[in-house]
Structures are given as structure tokens and as C-alpha cells.
A and B are shown apart, each in its own frame.
Chain A
């Protein structure tokens, strides 16, 4: 009976491991602040809300991302060749730590592999916000 039980435990842990993103705080913040428009799967919505999953914009405008999260976007932007012109509201109450957590989740979820943001990098970017 013992080895059988052990196997069950291992299986449960393995399954639990699959479910979790390494950026759980970022995931929770994303779901609360971003997913209404960008959707849980990061796909966006038609030509209204740009996708985050597979978005070239995340790589091209990496240094701008912290400011965009905090202060939003009023300009028209191009993501993967598609133009988006809706205004994005920022979340000025976010802290630098929270922004780092969200960016790390977004940049490494849904197949994105855009590397990790450090708190220092985010703080530096935030100093440049217009």
C-alpha cells in the first residue's frame, strides 16, 4: 500500500505544479487590473483592445511599459501590424513592485518569453515618464 500512496502524492504535487505560474502575484494583479480588456488569455478584443500574447510591442517598447501601466496610453499604437486607437486608462495607484510583478507575468505568460524585469529597471523607467 505504501508505494501506491507515495505515487498518488507525487502525482498530486506534479499536477499542482502545472497549474501555477511562477508569477502568481503578477497574475492576480493582471486579472484584477488588466484582464477586463486584454482578457485572461492575453488575446485582446478584435481591433479594439490589443493582444499581449505574442505582441511585438512588448519587446519593441520594453522601456515604456512601466509608464504605460501607471499612466495609460492616449496615442494610437501599432501591435503586430494592427493599429489600435482606443484610450488605455492607467492605474496610478500601482507601486513599482506591483508593476514589476505584472510585467513579469505578462512577459512570460501565454508563450511570451521576453525575459524578466527587475525592480531597479522598472524604477528607472518610471523616472522617465512624461
Chain B
């Protein structure tokens, strides 16, 4: 019996250790350079795309904000709807918080016109200024996916004609990528949303609004 009690204690102690919330800081992701003793962190480069309202969307659109990025296409027969469903969760949580935005890049620039993106956003029940669904130069969109550690490319063999990752990526107001998750997974997205709260606290000094 004494042995049992010992194991019980160990178990309880172990659980308690898991519960202890340690103060975390999100890392800056990507390869860094050191120049003259200064560390240079990778940043998201300049971009210019067009959203569902025909408005120009650039880095300036997200100045002073943190934002969530993904890559998708409307007629995607595989993972996109799941990523969108988790995107909608994020949208619903932060839609009244102007410090947080979402930027979804279409990788099917031929079919996903501004009008098609508008219809898509309306049917999802989401909209600007919080959630920008953008199209643009194909190369520019495929190129910037690298900076967000995502895959976006044409592949006639892939379902729907495109290869892409279903990642959600979190960018801070200094253009640094700070977190990402598998956007097809609801639990991963819940963890990711905690990272968003953490980043809001770090960058704006106040807790996320409920």
C-alpha cells in the first residue's frame, strides 16, 4: 500500500508540474544572420496584392497589427475547408480587435478573381477590414509563401491542381514570423490561438480582449 501511495504522489506531482503556467515568449522563426555582431532576423518582404473589395493590400495595411496568414484556393477539394473553418474560429474571436487581422492568399489566380473572392468571403460570413482574401501576381504569391514557411505551387498531379500547406502563420507587427500551426487540426489551432493572445500581450502590453 505504501508503494501505491508513493506512486500516487509522483503522479500528482507530475500533473501539477504540467499545470504550472510558465511565462513564455514566442521565438522569432527562421534563419538569422549576424552582421557586425548584430543579429538580423528574417522579415516578411514588401508585398502588394488586391483583396475581395478591389483594395490594394500591402505591408502598410498591417502596420501596427499582428496578422495570421494562409494559402488556399476556392475550388480546393482537399484541406482548404478545414483550414478555413479554423480561420473562422480565429476571425470570430478577434473580429472586434483591430490589432489582429487575417491575410488569405489565393494560389489559383486564374479562377479566384476579386468577384469570386468576394462571394467566397460573403458565404463564409467574414469580411474586411479584418480578413483580407487576396489575389495578385502568381509568382509574387508563390514567392512570398517561402517567407511564411509555406508551400504554394502548381502541380497538375495534385488534387485540384495545386500543392500547398494548410498552415496558419502568425506574423508580429515587426514583420517577424512568430508561430505557426497545422490549420487543418482544431486542437493545434487552439494552441495557436493561445500564441496569438501571448503575442498581443507582448506587443500591445495588454491582455487580449475576450
Interface residues of A (CB under 8 A from B): 35-37, 39-40, 45-49, 87, 89
Chain B interface residue count, CB cutoff 8 Å, equals 17
Judge whether B206 is part of the interface by a CB distance below 8 angstroms: no
B78 within 8 A of A: yes
Q: Tally of A-B residue pairs with Cβ under 8 A?
A: 34
Min C-beta distance of A49 to chain B, whole Å: 6
Any chain A CB within 8 A of the CB of B123? yes
- State whether A39 and B82 are in contact (beta carbons under 8 Å apart), knowing that A46-B88, A89-B77 are contacts in the complex: yes
B178: chain A residues at CB < 8 Å are none
Tell me the complex Cα distance, A87–B75, Å. Answer: 9
Add 15 more A-B contacts to A35-B82, A36-B79 (CB < 8 A). Answer: A36-B81, A36-B82, A39-B82, A39-B85, A40-B186, A45-B81, A45-B84, A45-B85, A45-B88, A46-B123, A47-B123, A47-B124, A47-B125, A48-B84, A89-B77
Measured in the bound complex, the distance between the Cα atoms of B121 and A47 in whole Å is 10
List chain B residues, Cβ under 8 A from A87: 75
The residue on B at minimum CB distance from A1 is: B1
Report whether A45 and B124 are in contact in the complex, using a CB–CB cutoff of 8 Å: yes
Closest to B121 in A: A46
